[in-house]
Amino acid sequence: MSTHISKLKAGTPRIWTTRRDEKKRRMEKVRSMLNGVILPTDHIVDAMEVLLVSGDRVALEGNNQKQASFLSQALSNVNPQVVNNLHMIMSSVSRPEHLDIFEKNIASKLDFSYAGPQSLRIAQMVEDQTLSIGSIHTYLELYGRMFVDLTPNIALVAADKADRQGNLYTGANTEETPTIIEATAFRDGIVIVQVNEIVDELPRVDVPASWIDVIVEADQPYQLEALFTRDPRHIKETHILMGMMAIRGIYERHQVQSLNHGIGFNTAAIELLLPTYGESLGLRGKICKNWVLNPHPTLIPAIESGWVESVHCFGGEVGMEKYTAARPDVFFTGHDGTIRSNRAMGQVAGQYAADMFIGASLQIDPDGNSSTVTSGRLSGFGGAPNMGSDARGRRHDTEAWLNMIKDQDPIVRGRKLVVQMVETFQSGDQPTFVDQLDAIQVGHDAGLPLAPVMIYGDDVTHVVTEEGIAYLYKAQNIEERRTALAAIAGVTPLGQRHDTDLNEKLRQDGLIAFPEDLEIRRTDAKRSLLAAKSIEELVEWSDGLYEPPSKFRSW
- 41-56 pLDDT, tens digit each: 999 999 999 999 999 9
Backbone dihedral angles phi then psi of residue 292, each to the nearest 5 degrees: -125, 100
Q: pLDDT over 70 for what percent of the chain?
A: 99
136 plus 215 within the same structural domain = yes
348 plus 219 within the same structural domain = no
197 plus 278 within the same structural domain = no
Domain count, the chain: 2
Q: What is the mean pLDDT of residues 228-256?
A: 97
Domain final position from 224, 258, 278: 224
Q: Does residue 6 sit within a domain?
A: no
283 plus 375 within the same structural domain = yes
pLDDT of residue 116: 79
297 plus 256 within the same structural domain = yes
202 plus 239 within the same structural domain = no
DSSP structure string for 405-428: -----SS-----EEEEE--SEEGG
192 plus 239 within the same structural domain = no
Residues spanned by the domain of 135:
31-224
Q: What is the mean pLDDT of residues 486-493?
A: 97
Q: Does residue 148 sit within a domain?
A: yes
Please report which confidence band the pLDDT of residue 10 belongs to, taking 50, 70 and 90 as the band edges: low
Q: Does residue 440 sit within a domain?
A: yes
Domain final position from 208, 224, 240: 224
Domain final position from 187, 204, 224: 224
Q: Does residue 220 sit within a domain?
A: yes
Q: What is the pTM of this model?
A: 0.94
Rounded Cα distance, 419 and 471, in Å: 10
Cβ neighbours for 246, distance < 8 A, ≥ 6 positions apart: 266, 270, 358, 419, 421, 464, 469
Q: Does residue 249 sit within a domain?
A: yes
468 plus 377 within the same structural domain = yes
Please report which confidence band the pLDDT of residue 472 belongs to, taking 50, 70 and 90 as the band edges: very high
Q: Does residue 16 sit within a domain?
A: no
249 plus 216 within the same structural domain = no
What is the average pLDDT value for the chain, to the nearest integer? 95
Cα-to-chain-centroid distance, residue 393? 21
Q: Is residue 457 within 8 Å of residue 518, measured between CB atoms?
A: no
Q: Does residue 363 sit within a domain?
A: yes
Closest alpha carbon to 23 in 45, 56, 72: 56
Q: Does residue 437 sit within a domain?
A: yes
Rounded Cα distance, 353 and 370, in Å: 23
**CATH classification of the domain holding 42:** 3.40.1080.10
pLDDT of residue 377: 86
285 plus 305 within the same structural domain = yes
216 plus 276 within the same structural domain = no
278 plus 401 within the same structural domain = yes
